[in-house]
Amino acid sequence: MSAENFSDEPTRLAETIVPLFARQAGAFTPVAAPDGSRVELITGADDQDDCAVFRLTGNHDLVVGTDYVRGPKFRLYEMGHLDEYDLGYYLVAANLSDIAAMGAKPIGLLSVVRYPAEMDDVLFGFVMKGIHDACAAFGCPNVGGDIGGAERLILAASALGVCPAGGALLRSGAKPGDVVCLTAPTGLAGAAMAYLRAGIPDPVIEGLLPSLLANWKRPVARIGEGLALAASGVVRSCQDTSDGLKATLLSIADLSGVGIAVDERAVPVPGSVAAVAAHVGVEPLALVLGDSVDFELVFTVPPCRVDELAESVDFHRIGEVVEEQEVVLVGEDGSRAALPGKAWRHQGGGDGKA
């Protein structure tokens, strides 16, 4: 590794960013729909203009969202479990997860990377490389951004996606009778955090830790799944679980004006999450449903269409949309209870996610 260098912004732009993000417009695979609609990237980050430019022809719904990721307060980073590359990667996944939840294809990401004076060129390069590699993994160019000094590491981004007109998956479309589905188990990210914050090493859980931490180090935005859900034409509502599964269910119910009956036996509980729950002394479903920052998708489908959807997308069926506007956990014996777990982080919380 080279000696520490602390280049100024124009130098970092010229030496790190431009090479890393070169020839974007040429490398962009145009989005083309059967009706002739098309999206191209005309001016990318490497063109260093005031803005990036996309050309859209035909009929599109354009979806846009934004997410901030904590720097040093991002606790696992402070604790040494995540590095600068991981934070850059995470920033992209967190933002593209919102695009996935709309059933859209990501076309571009804008990133804000502000760094403290003690972050040298190598560490700065790791942040940008994490952003670059995640963008490559998810097929979405980093078309612009803002770099510069700050008191501490600050990461934020916005993401853009497109889908056929009328095809975006909203949170508000759930109807009574719909089956409530989940792309994959939740609670892994929260279990990693709970275990590491407890600070009591356990030999079994140490062995599970890499897989628990994978949700933080290489989180997956469910873009392919979101596109398949949108293409199916049978999904009535969808949201990602970045605020936790409980918060997601409450949000879909609230915005759709319905209730949800969650089947306690049907909610997947990974063994590693159960092991952490036992270790830290909470019930497993509190980790699975609580404020674990996973990027799975919750969606609802009419019961007569759910089997057909299962042929093209993997998911768990965890409950049913009901008329009564209440979200409850239904036990094997028919008992009804409030969902366990923390619903949403509050002012001052430091979980690393917006």
Binding-site members are 50, 66-67, 98, 145-146, 171, 240, 242-243, 344
Q: Angle, nearest 10°, between helix axes 188-198 and 203-217? A: 130
Q: Are 260 and 178 contacting, i.e. CB atoms less than 8 angstroms apart?
A: no
The token duo for 35 is 């009706």
Check binding of 344 to a second copy (CB under 8 A): yes
Shortest Å distance, C-beta 150 to a second copy? 7
Verify binding: residue 66, a second copy, rule CB under 8 A. yes
Of positions 20, 150, 234, 280, contacts a second copy by CB under 8 A: 150
The stretch near a second copy (CB under 8 A) out of 27-35, 166-174, 267-275, 324-332 is 166-174
Q: What burial class does residue 78 get, using C-beta atoms within 10 Å of its C-beta: 0-12 exposed, 13-18 middle, 19+ buried?
A: middle
Per CB under 8 A, contacts with a second copy among 284-343 are none
Please, what sign has the CA dihedral across residues 17, 23, 25, 27?
Answer: negative
For a second copy, the binding residue among 170, 234, 261, 266 (CB under 8 A) is: 170
Cβ–Cβ < 8 Å for 239, 172: no
Contact status: 48 vs a second copy (CB under 8 A): yes
Tokens of 256: 């759709």
Q: Which residues are annotated as part of the binding site for Mg(2+)? A: 50, 66-67, 98, 146, 240, 243
* Of the residues 76, 82, 91, 102, which one makes contact with a second copy according to CB under 8 A: 102
Residue 348 lies near a second copy (rule: CB under 8 A): yes
C-beta closer to a second copy: residue 68 or 214 = 68
Q: Which residue, 158 or 232, is less far from a second copy as judged by CB?
A: 158
Q: 153 forms bridges with which residues in the sheet?
A: none
What residues from 13 to 42 belong to the interface with a second copy (CB under 8 A)? 42
Take residue 297 and report the two structure tokens written for it: 């998708």
Cα–Cα distance, 325 to 264 (Å, whole number): 18
